[in-house]
Chains A and B, each alone.
Chain A
Amino acid sequence: MKRGLVLLDSAEIPAEEWYGRVAAVQRELQADGTDVGLIYGDVSRSDDIAYLTNLCVYWNEGILAVPAYGHPVFLTKLSLRVHSWMQLISTVTEIRSGRSFAELVAKFLGPGDGGTVGLIEAELWPGPVAAEIRQALAGWDVRELSGLVRARRQVPSPAEVALLRHAAGLLVETATVAAAPGLTDRERIAAAERGLRGAGFLDVLADTARTADGVTSVRITGQYRYLWLQASRLADTATAAWPDLLRQAIAVAVTAAVPGATAADLHEAARSALDRLPAGAISDVRWVHQADMATNGEYADYPSGLPIPAGSVVVVGIDVRFADGTHAAVAETVLAAADGPVCLTGQPGATGAARPIR
């Protein structure tokens, strides 16, 4: 649940960059002949909206209306009393509240002669909301658009990379505390919450999994501003030999996360370590854009041959299911830089770790 710090800081991302993002989307709308692009978000998945405005849909749902010319307007079911806060933490100057998205959109577009409205990433809109809007916009051509904002989010800007590096440092520190030997599962999760929310993370999702031989996987996913990171560590490993193999596997998978690499390439790199895991263990090696971590990549299309784009930041993870049905997981957040991968969440000096933070 999003209940951490929401902050708009021009020292982190300058105003020109925010306006440039909106302008880039507007250029696409103009080229496509679309008068207004609509972006839907809810409390669990609103990073397109945050990318363009820094708005946090901390509860319920909202729609960002991006006209081909002019300023974006946020349409929400949230009450009027949060408008001033939303304006304070975002670049949006106009927010409109109402009980129905169809009414809000129709009122925003006004009574004119119609035109073209695009539902951005239409396939992820709630069907009934999209239908309601189509019905309310008689005289308008309502088009389904692709995930054009998501596409822009996949390669972070230098300012975003700087934020990710800073956040990664915080995550590394907290993960070290949370994965200390001898803690209970609850203590590990409490440590993750204390460390990351206390350092200004917006959202923290921490979970643990324990194998029959007592090894605990501590997986922490965090959202800093609107950017996502994940690190998963193994704790209480003294009773088993396989954790070192899994650490080797993630280290080489991270090293293989060069621009153009596929999930199969990462798996192949990790194979020699994974093949030596206990008999019956099944390993899944994957990568997910940090930009898709709100959904863990589960709504995106990740065909097996999809290459990692140059300059993207991705989560590289290995999940292992042992023959007895228990699990272990390791993961790192990696910048796929043109001159080689940088493990943002790597622990400097750790065995088999990829290059530490530069």
Chain B
Amino acid sequence: MTINHDGTADEAERSLRLSRVRAAMAAAGLDALLAFAPAWRRENVRYFTDAPVAGTASFVLLTATDADGVGAFSTRRADLDSIAGRGWVTDAHSLSARRVSALAERLRAARPARLGVAHYELLPELLMRQLVQALPRTEIVSATGLMDDVRLVKSDWEIGRIRRAASVVDAGWAAFVDVLEPGLPEYGIVAAVEAAIKGLGAEDNFMLIASGGDEVRGMTAPTPRVLRAGDMVRTELTPQLDGYWLQICRSAVVGKASDAQHRSFDLFNEAVEAGIAAVHPGVTAHEVARAQNDVFRARGLGEYCTSQYTRVRGHGHGLHIDETPIIEGNETELPENAVFIIHPNTYTPIAGYHVLGDPVRVTENGAEILISTERKLFEGAVR
């Protein structure tokens, strides 16, 4: 992990986070907050610890006042060293999923009247039963939305991390284009990209892919399909660096692009630009999505923005890959320093599924594009 060694800035960031969360807890009437991290949703535990954890179940417990400190718990022993080594939470304990004694003890000592659990919706019955047993008189509610709201606006410290992730994103796309050649299976592309970004310190990556012609309707995990000259290869590539995920969406042609592929690019680029132009502090996710969809509707292609194809026009980024969705009907306001990707990815009959998008930050003057990769239809050499 690449760590920011500026201790003063780190301490300020840690304090900022605790004060933000405690303010939200006060507004929600919570005496304590328990952030639960199943293996696929660790963003809230990361928010408190700034440490990578690998446990199947991990937790952070925060009470409304400083007096009780912050405690971390994980089913993986090695996580305790990771957490303690980072130093944001010094009180770390291992636990067994079947006997969460250390956590139960802390909960009993805190005696909250109202406990909020972030990712309550994902808490296994096995763990839920033990929480209820430890706190028989406590009202337990979900705090998932509370934490989503807290994490929506990124601090300058976080923006710094995200900018570093952006350089890995750019390098990942460069590796993607570089490896394309006829005969390579889709999973071979993924292997090359993974090696490139892991070599740059990426902790993880989320990636979907599709190759072929205008029959392609969507992206999936890689298949054994081998590339052919003229294929358009689409990807969304989302490395995670120092906790922060950032995505790029691009399409590249193996060899020279056809007129239809160029026309498709022009359409999707216009939609991305419309989404970018809509961004201002306080814009809603709905408005950013509508701006993109209107480009399709204006050309009689509105049906390709429906649930029969793809409705999502982007999503928030941060310590989770897929934060608030950019979709019509989502009235979430995106304030200054919200970070999300604008991607009108969908199928059209022009050249099949097309993938194009840039991650942006909301600034007082509009959108700041966070990556350096040119927005164009890439063409790879046929070697």
Among A6, A195, A319, the residue within 8 A (CB) of B223 is A6
Residues of A within 8 A of B222 (CB): 3-6
Contact with A along B195-221 (1 / 0, CB 8 A): 110111100111110000000011011
Residues of B within 8 A of A202 (CB): 221
Among B187, B198, B207, B218, the residue within 8 A (CB) of A190 is B198
Among A56, A79, A186, A206, the residue within 8 A (CB) of B221 is A56
Residues of A within 8 A of B373 (CB): none
Residues of A within 8 A of B201 (CB): 186
Q: Check if B375 is an interface residue, CB within 8 A of chain A.
A: no
Contact with B along A287-305 (1 / 0, CB 8 A): 0000000011011010000
B38/A193 in contact, CB under 8 A? no
Q: Check if A158 is an interface residue, CB within 8 A of chain B.
A: no
**When A44-B39, A295-B56, A299-B57 are in contact, do A7 and B224 touch as well, CB less than 8 Å?**
yes
Residues of A within 8 A of B200 (CB): 186
A1/B206 in contact, CB under 8 A? yes
A5/B187 in contact, CB under 8 A? yes
Q: Check if B121 is an interface residue, CB within 8 A of chain A.
A: yes
Q: Check if A110 is an interface residue, CB within 8 A of chain B.
A: no
Q: How far is the CA of A135 from the CA of B223 in the complex (A)?
A: 39
A123/B38 in contact, CB under 8 A? no
Q: Check if A129 is an interface residue, CB within 8 A of chain B.
A: yes
Which of B74-82, B103-111, B283-291, B328-336 is found at the contact surface with chain A?
A: B74-82
Q: Check if A58 is an interface residue, CB within 8 A of chain B.
A: yes
Residues of B within 8 A of A209 (CB): 78
Write the nearest CB–CB distance from A10 to chain B, whole angstroms.
14
**When A3-B221, A125-B124, A299-B57 are in contact, do A194 and B187 touch as well, CB less than 8 Å?**
no
A295/B39 in contact, CB under 8 A? yes
B57/A82 in contact, CB under 8 A? no
Q: How far is the CA of A327 from the CA of B356 in the complex (A)?
A: 44
Q: Check if A45 is an interface residue, CB within 8 A of chain B.
A: yes
Write the nearest CB–CB distance from A92 to chain B, whole angstroms.
15
Residues of A within 8 A of B206 (CB): 1, 3, 59
A4/B81 in contact, CB under 8 A? no
B78/A126 in contact, CB under 8 A? no
B56/A81 in contact, CB under 8 A? no
Contact with B along A1-41 (1 / 0, CB 8 A): 11111110000000000000000000000000000000000
Among B54, B188, B205, the residue within 8 A (CB) of A3 is B205
B128/A198 in contact, CB under 8 A? no
Residues 209 to 242 of chain B near chain A (Cβ within 8 Å): 217-218, 220-224
Q: Check if A170 is an interface residue, CB within 8 A of chain B.
A: no
A4/B190 in contact, CB under 8 A? yes
A191 to chain B: closest residue by CB: B195
**When A198-B188, A200-B187, A298-B97 are in contact, do A186 and B223 touch as well, CB less than 8 Å?**
no
Write the nearest CB–CB distance from A333 to chain B, whole angstroms.
19
Q: How far is the CA of A325 from the CA of B84 in the complex (A)?
A: 11
Write the nearest CB–CB distance from B74 to chain A, whole angstroms.
9
A82/B220 in contact, CB under 8 A? yes
B194/A123 in contact, CB under 8 A? no
Residues 197 to 236 of chain A near chain B (Cβ within 8 Å): 197-198, 200, 202, 204-207, 209
B127 to chain A: closest residue by CB: A127
Can you report 12 A-B residue pairs in the complex whose CB atoms are below 8 A from each other? A3-B221, A5-B222, A5-B224, A42-B38, A42-B122, A45-B56, A80-B307, A186-B198, A186-B201, A207-B54, A298-B55, A301-B98
| Other 20 A-B pairs with CB < 8 A, given A1-B205, A198-B187 | A1-B206, A5-B222, A7-B224, A45-B39, A80-B307, A81-B309, A84-B217, A85-B218, A85-B220, A89-B223, A122-B125, A126-B121, A126-B122, A186-B200, A189-B199, A190-B195, A200-B224, A205-B54, A296-B76, A319-B77
Show the binding face of B for A, using Cβ within 8 Å.
Answer: 38-40, 54-57, 75-78, 81, 97-98, 120-126, 128-129, 142, 185, 187-188, 190-192, 194-196, 198-201, 204-208, 217-218, 220-224, 307-310, 347
Show the binding face of A for B, using Cβ within 8 Å.
Answer: 1-7, 42-45, 56, 58-59, 79-82, 84-85, 89, 122-130, 186-187, 189-191, 193-198, 200, 202, 204-207, 209, 284, 295-296, 298-299, 301, 319, 325, 327
The 7 A-B residue pairs with the shortest CB-CB distance, nearest first, are: A198-B191, A44-B39, A81-B218, A194-B195, A197-B191, A193-B194, A127-B128
